[in-house]
Amino acid sequence: MENNESFMVYNVAEPYQEVNFYNRAQNWFMPEHHHTYYQFIWVIDGTLLFTIGGEEYSLTRGKICITPPLQPHSLRSTTGYCQFGINLQTPKDAKGMIGLLDAYIPEFIIIDYSHNLDLLPVLEKESRGFTKLSKIKIANILDGIIVSCVEMIMNGNEVNFKNHLLTFLNKNLNQKITLSDVSKELAISQSHLERLVRKEFGCGVIDLYNQLRINKACSYLSASYYTIENISELLGFYDTSHFSHFFKQKIKMTPTEYRKYKNWTK
């Protein structure tokens, strides 16, 4: 965008009420509010801090956040940021785009859409030279963005999501991880995160985390000379008693019994 300019284009085509390019200054803030329509914010540069449902999410270049109607949220940026925004109309449209969003994006979500950043110069050009032909071009691109986002959600963005989740959990097996911690790391609402994890792993986030801790404990007990106290510390337990109780609940043996069993079966 030129000279830190911000501009808006209205009534692009059904169901797009407005598209906009905004440059926000450092230490910009918008207090809590809500809309009667779906809103897309695609970060072009800088960092946007988006608070919804008591959680703050950090959006950097290439991330799109989609906020459904009537969900209170606030926005701020310490660095300043640049965005492309889409505000949809409130009534459902003949094409069925809003119905599609209702079906697949009932809650706030963040999507990594950086692989399509090359669309932004085209959208900016067509928005500046706004004509009847521009309306058609912009609407076609926006339709593609929405359909693509829905497809990514339907697929769970599975490989990236699964890898990111497991990497984060495995790196923090010695910490007291909460659902909120994981939600912030993956930039997904807690309820949507739980649904994705149950679909992929058949259990909740914390159950998955605890299973990874047990797997690591079993590995240490069967393939290392670490003491029970060492393993307890490595996995972030308060003490050996807490670790032993946790382990026996899951494996039905104490850590010492498990180590003896594994050594006997080698």
Complete DSSP assignment for 127-175: HHT--HHHHHHHHHHHHHHHHHHHHHHHTTTHHHHHHHHHHHHHHTTTS
Percent of the chain with pLDDT over 90: 62
d(CA 65, CA 48): 10
Interval 204-237: pLDDT, tens? 999 999 999 999 999 999 877 889 999 999 998 8
**Distance of alpha carbon 108 from alpha carbon 174, whole angstroms:** 30
Please report the domains of the chain, with CATH numbers, ordered by start residue: 7-154 (2.60.120.280), 158-265 (1.10.10.60)
Radius of gyration of the chain, Cα coordinates, nearest whole angstrom: 24
Q: At what angle do helices 179-186 and 158-171 cross, to 10 degrees?
A: 130
- Average pLDDT over the chain, rounded to an integer: 90
> What is the sign of the dihedral through the CA atoms of 137, 62, 209 and 67?
negative
Residue 254: partners with Cβ closer than 8 Å, 6 or more residues away: 244, 247, 248
What is the dihedral angle through the alpha carbons of 107, 108, 113, 116, rounded to the nearest 10 degrees?
80
The confidence score (pLDDT) of residue 262 equals 76
Beta-carbon contacts of 37 under 8 Å, excluding residues fewer than 6 positions away, are: 17, 69, 87, 88, 89, 90
Ranges of residues in the chain with a pLDDT under 50 are: none
Cα–Cα distance measured from residue 131 to residue 42, given in angstroms and rounded to the nearest whole number? 23
Q: What is the DSSP letter of 95?
A: T
**What are the pLDDT digits (tens) for 125-169?**
999 988 989 999 999 999 999 999 998 887 765 557 788 899 999
